[in-house]
Amino acid sequence: METSAQQETRSILSTKEKRNLALLILSYTFTMASLVLLVGSSSNVVLSLEKEGEDYTELTTLSYALFMTGMSFISLFTIQIFKKGRKLGFLVGNTLGLIGAVMGIISMKYRFFPLMLLSYIPLGCAVGVGNYLRFAAVEVVPADFKETAVTLVLSGGVISAFLGPEAANATRDLYASVPFANVFIVVGIFNVAMMILISFVQFPNDTKSKNAIKESKTSSHDQSNRTTFGSILINYKFFVPVILASLSWGIMAMPMIIARVAMSDAGYTARSSLTVIELHFLGMFSPGFVSGKIIKQKGEIFALKIAVALFILAHIFDFVCQRKDDGGTVATWILGLFVIGNGWNFGFASATMWLTKACERSPHLKAPIQACNDFIMFAVTGISGLSTGYIYDAQHSRDLNDILRGWKSVNYVSLGGIGIFILVIFFGHWSHRKEMNATNKMDTTETVENNTISAV
C-alpha cells in the first residue's frame, strides 16, 4: 500500500505520461476543430453549389443532419473499432475523416451536390470516433490525475473554437478557383496531423482493463441475471438523461446551424457571422472548467436548472436580433449564440453524469449503454437539424418585409424544446424522489422488523 508521500509523488506525471497526455490533448483539439469548421460552414457550403434559378435555403441543414447521422451511426461500432486497441481505433477514425475530406474536395471541384452531402457521413464518423479521445486521456495518467486530465482535454475544445474557422479563413485562397474546397482540405490536414500524433502515443497495456472487465462480469454475475440491457433501457435513469442530452443538442443546434444564413439575409458580413460562430463554440466548451465541479457539489438537477435559465436568456437575445439596416448590432447575435452554448454545456454534462447511474450496478453493460445513448442522441439531433432548414425557409419566404421571420420561427420551435426539457427534468426529479422514498420506507420496515425480532 502506498504511503501518503508516495501518493503525492505519484501525482507528478512522468515524462512518458506528460508526452502521451499532450499528444492526446492536441489530437482532441484537432477533432473539435474539425467539428467546429464543418458545422460552422455547412450552410455556406450547401449554398455555394446553388444552380441558377434554384434555391437551396431549405437544404442548408441537410449536410449537418448527415454529419450527425455519421456520428450516430459510428457509435454502433465503437466497441468493435476499439477492440484491437485504442491506437488502431483512432487511426480508423482518421482514415474515415480523410475519405470524407477527399469526397468533399472532389464534390466541390465538380460541383456535384449529392457527393458533397455524402462526404459529411464519413466526416461525422471520424469526429464520433475522435470524441473517445477524452476517455483515452484518462487512461494514460495515474488515478489521482484523472480530473486534471479531463480539464486539460477540455481546454483543447476552447482552442478549437477559433482554430477550425480561422484555419479555413486563412486558406480560402489556397484553392481559390473552387469555393469552399479549402474547408475539406483543412479537415484533411487535421486528420493527417491526428494520425501522426496518435502514432506517437504509448497507450497502456489493455491487459489490466480486460482483467477488470472480466472481474466485473464475474462479481456481478448474479446481478446480471436480473439486470438485462432491456430492463435498463426502460429505466428512468437511462431514458431521462438520454432525452435531456438529445434536447440539449437540439435546442442549441437549431439556432446555431441557421445563424450564418439568417445573418447574411439580415445584411451582416461573412466575417461577422464567422465571429458569432467562433464565440458560440467558445461558449460551448468554456464552461467545462466549472460545470463539472458544480454538478459534483450541487447535483444534476441544480445544473439542469442553470441550463434552462441560460437557454431562456439566449432566446431572449435571439428574439431581439434585428437587421443591420434597421439599427441591429452583431452583439445580440453574439450573446444569443454564446449563452445558448453555455446552456448546452450544463445540460449535456448533467445528462452525461446522470446516465452513469444507469450502469452503476451493471458495469459490464457500460459500453452498449454509452453506444445506445450516443446513437439516439445524435440521431435526434440530426433530425432536429434537418427540420431547421425547412422551418426557416418556409417562414422566411412568407413575409419578405420581415426578413427575420424564419429566424424567429426557428427560435420558437427551439423554445418549445425548452418546455419539454423542463417537463423531463420534473419527471426525472419526481422519479428519483419516488425511488428514494421507497428505499427509505423499505429500510425503515426492515429496521422495525429487526428490532421486533431482537425484543422477542
Could you give the percent of the chain with pLDDT greater than 70?
A: 82
Give the cell for residue 208.
489490466
CB count in 10 Å sphere of residue 420: 14
Closest alpha carbon to 180 in 105, 114, 243, 231: 105
Domain ranges for the chain = 15-205, 230-444
Percentage of the residues of the chain whose pLDDT score is greater than 90 = 38
Residue 60 backbone dihedrals phi, psi, to 5 degrees: -60, -25
What three-state secondary structure class fits 37?
A: helix
Q: What would the pLDDT profile of 220-257 be if each residue is shown by its tens digit?
A: 444 444 566 566 666 777 889 999 999 999 999 999 98
Alpha helices in 286-299 (DSSP H): 288-298
Cα 52 to Cα 43, 49, 181, distances in angstroms: 18, 10, 20
In angstroms, the CA 287 to CA 153 distance is: 13
User: What CA–CA distance (Å, rounded) separates 441 from 39?
Assistant: 50
DSSP string across 119-184: HHHHHHHHHHHHTTHHHHHHHTS-GGGHHHHHHHHHHHHHHHHHHHHHHHHHTTTTTTTSTTHHHH
Q: Is the domain covering 15-205 a CATH 3.40.190.10 domain?
A: no
End-to-end CA distance of the chain: 45
Tens digit of pLDDT for each residue in 353-407? 787 766 666 666 767 777 788 888 888 888 888 888 888 887 765 555 577 888 9
Instruction: Look at the domain 230-444 and name its fold.
Output: Growth Hormone; Chain: A; (1.20.1250)
pTM, rounded to two decimals: 0.78
Topology alike, domains 15-205 and 230-444 = yes
- Predicted confidence band at 207 (pLDDT cuts at 50, 70, 90)? very low
Residue 424 contacts residue 301 (beta carbons within 8 Å): no
Instruction: Kindly tell me if the per-residue pLDDT of 5 is higher than 50.
Output: no
Q: What is the mean pLDDT of the chain?
A: 83
pLDDT at residue 88 in the model: 93
More confident residue, 56 or 454: 56
